[in-house]
């Protein structure tokens, strides 16, 4: 029989039940108790918390994301840690105004679209058997045929919570992509998933001009944010400038280009700036970081949403900070994969841990 323990989350004082085989983060998110998290695979360090009382199994926390000294100080990565008795943990539980908490649930969906949108990039659209409310920018965990999971950002508007669109890039030798999504997965297949996850989401309370910067399939959550913004704008008269950069190496990787060029014609506040490093597009050529630095020598007063490979996100963040944008106005989603987990680069240093 599986034993269940009680986890108290401070400073909220909220109590949740957590099975011995369940991670503390999973138990909290399923009960609607929000805690910060990003990769949910023990790699990025975002979910770091202090264990005030009780025994915990630290699980597969990356030694780079949870240092030996932090383990000794009683810290844990709640996305991979499991209880060994009743627990009291302390995390950063602040939720920004306007951001809704949607409890995580298991779902099933049927593949209705499987489309090659760029070399090694597939659009996968799922129809869910029941709605999954989410915030624009959040992601789902797809369950692989062997039971392992991989996170993928949702690319469609939250206004249709029974539909989930994903943009997936193939990783050579990758378990989810090369050996399943790009090989065996077919229209009509049923897939299991859970969600919604993620701290990276549209912040309605930040009433400022917006920079959306995505590299590769990092476009996905930005597409969702833009779709939501389109709905909001139609309803409430949005007026701030929104600039979308899509960074890729070659022109044929600029998927959905026509859609954004059309939107640019239709929406007075929106502009689309492809950033192609190896060839010119519309008379411009360069890495997204270079074009962004050129266009915005001063970026203060804006809010930026960055998404893509952890390295690209980190480099873009540095450019924006040099342009005087405060880190609190730079929201980030790094697409950590197994290689990042093994190498331990791009770990987030939590302010909880004083050095
Ligand atoms: C929050 C979040 C959202 C994401 N959203 C998206 C998205 O919208 N679209 C998208 O395309 N991707 C997204 N990703 C990345 C995605 O989850 C997968 O990591 C990616 O698809 C690769 O999965 P895979 O199973 O195919 O590859 P894996 O089997 O995980 O392998 C990835 C790469 O690492 C190599 N590798 C495997 N194990 C090791 C090891 N031990 N040491 C060194 N190298 C190793 C493999 O050869 C391969 O090249 C997201 C990631 C996160 C964290
Ligand atoms: S969310 Fe736990 S380490 Fe990334």
> In the chain, what are the domains?
4-90 (3.10.20.30), 105-197 (2.40.30.10), 210-343 (3.40.50.80)
Ligand 2 atom closest to Cα of residue 36: 1
Q: What's the pLDDT score for residue 350? A: 46
Is 147 exposed, middle or buried, given 0-12, 13-18 or 19+ CB atoms closer than 10 A? exposed
| Nearest one of 79, 111, 137, 102 to 192, comparing CA atoms | 111
pLDDT digits (tens, 9 = 90+) for 95-113: 899 999 999 999 999 999 9
- 3-state SS, one letter per residue, for the chain: CCCEEEEEEECCCEEEEEECCCCHHHHHHHCCCCCCCCCCCCCCCCCEEEEEECCEECCCCCCCCCCHHHHHCCEEECCCCEECCCEEEECCCCCCCCCCCCCCEEEEEEEEEEEEEECCEEEEEEEECCCCCCCCCCEEEEECCCCCEEEEECCCCCCCCCEEEEEEECCCCCCCHHHHHCCCCCCCCEEEEEEEECCCCCCCCCCCCEEEEEEHHHHHHHHHHHHHHHHHHHHHCCCCCEEEEEEECCHHHCCCHHHHHHHHHHCCCEEEEEEECCCCECCECCCHHHHHHHHCCCCCCCEEEEEECHHHHHHHHHHHHHCCCCHHHEEEEECCCHHHHHHCCCCCCCCCCCC
pLDDT digits (tens, 9 = 90+) for 135-160: 999 999 999 999 999 999 999 999 99
Q: What's the pLDDT score for residue 193? A: 98
Q: What's the pLDDT score for residue 341? A: 76
- Show the low-confidence residues of the chain (pLDDT under 50): 350-355
341 lines ligand 1 (CB under 6 A): no
pLDDT digits (tens, 9 = 90+) for 190-225: 999 999 999 999 999 998 999 999 999 999 999 999
**Closest C-alpha residue for ligand 1 atom 35:** 339
pTM of the model: 0.95
212 lines ligand 1 (CB under 6 A): no
Q: What's the pLDDT score for residue 277? A: 97
Question: Is residue 123 within 8 Å of residue 115, measured between CB atoms?
Answer: yes
Give me 3's structure tokens: 């034993």
- Interatomic CA distance for residues 276 and 171, integer angstroms: 21
**Closest C-alpha residue for ligand 1 atom 10:** 168
Pocket test for ligand 2, best of 23, 27, 36, 44 (most atoms within 8 A of CB): 44
81 lines ligand 2 (CB under 6 A): no
Ligand 2 atom closest to Cα of residue 43: 3
66 lines ligand 2 (CB under 6 A): no
Distance 167 CA to ligand 1 centre (A): 13
Which ligand is nearest the CA of 255, by number? 1
Q: What's the pLDDT score for residue 5? A: 97
Pocket test for ligand 1, best of 63, 194, 337 (most atoms within 8 A of CB): 337
């Amino acid at each position: 029989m599986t034993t269940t323990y009680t986890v108290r989350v401070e400073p909220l004082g909220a109590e949740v039940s957590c099975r011995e085989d369940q991670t503390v983060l999973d138990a909290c998110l399923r009960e609607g108790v929000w805690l910060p998290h990003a990769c949910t695979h023990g790699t990025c360090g975002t979910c770091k918390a202090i264990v005030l009382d009780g025994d915990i199994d630290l699980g597969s926390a990356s030694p780079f994301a949870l240092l030996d000294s932090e383990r000794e100080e009683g810290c844990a990565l709640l996305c991979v840690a499991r209880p060994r008795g009743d627990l009291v943990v302390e995390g950063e539980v602040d939720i920004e105004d306007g951001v809704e908490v949607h409890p995580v649930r298991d779902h099933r969906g049927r593949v209705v679209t499987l489309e090659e949108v760029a070399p090694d990039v597939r659009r996968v659209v799922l129809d869910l058997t029941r709605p999954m409310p989410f915030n624009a920018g959040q992601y789902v965990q797809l369950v692989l045929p062997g039971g392992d999971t991989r996170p993928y950002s949702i690319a469609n508007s939250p206004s249709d919570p029974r539909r989930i669109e994903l943009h997936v890039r193939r990783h050579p030798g990758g378990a989810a992509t090369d050996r399943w999504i790009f090989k065996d997965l077919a229209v009509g297949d049923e897939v299991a998933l859970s969600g919604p996850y993620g701290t990276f989401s549209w912040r309605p309370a930040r009433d400022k001009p917006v920079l959306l910067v995505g590299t590769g399939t990092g476009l996905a959550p930005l597409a969702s944010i833009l779709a939501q913004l389109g709905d909001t704008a139609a309803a409430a008269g949005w007026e701030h400038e929104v600039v979308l950069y899509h960074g890729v190496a070659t022109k044929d990787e600029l998927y959905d280009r026509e859609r954004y060029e059309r939107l640019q014609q239709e929406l007075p506040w929106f502009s689309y700036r492809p950033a192609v490093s190896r060839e010119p597009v519309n008379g411009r050529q360069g890495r997204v970081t270079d074009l962004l630095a050129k266009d915005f020598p001063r970026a203060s007063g804006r809010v930026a949403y960055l998404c893509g490979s952890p390295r690209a996100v980190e480099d873009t963040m540095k450019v924006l900070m040099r342009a005087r944008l405060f880190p609190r106005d730079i929201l980030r989603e790094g697409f950590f994969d197994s290689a990042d987990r093994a190498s331990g680069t791009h770990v987030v240093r939590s302010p909880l841990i004083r050095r």
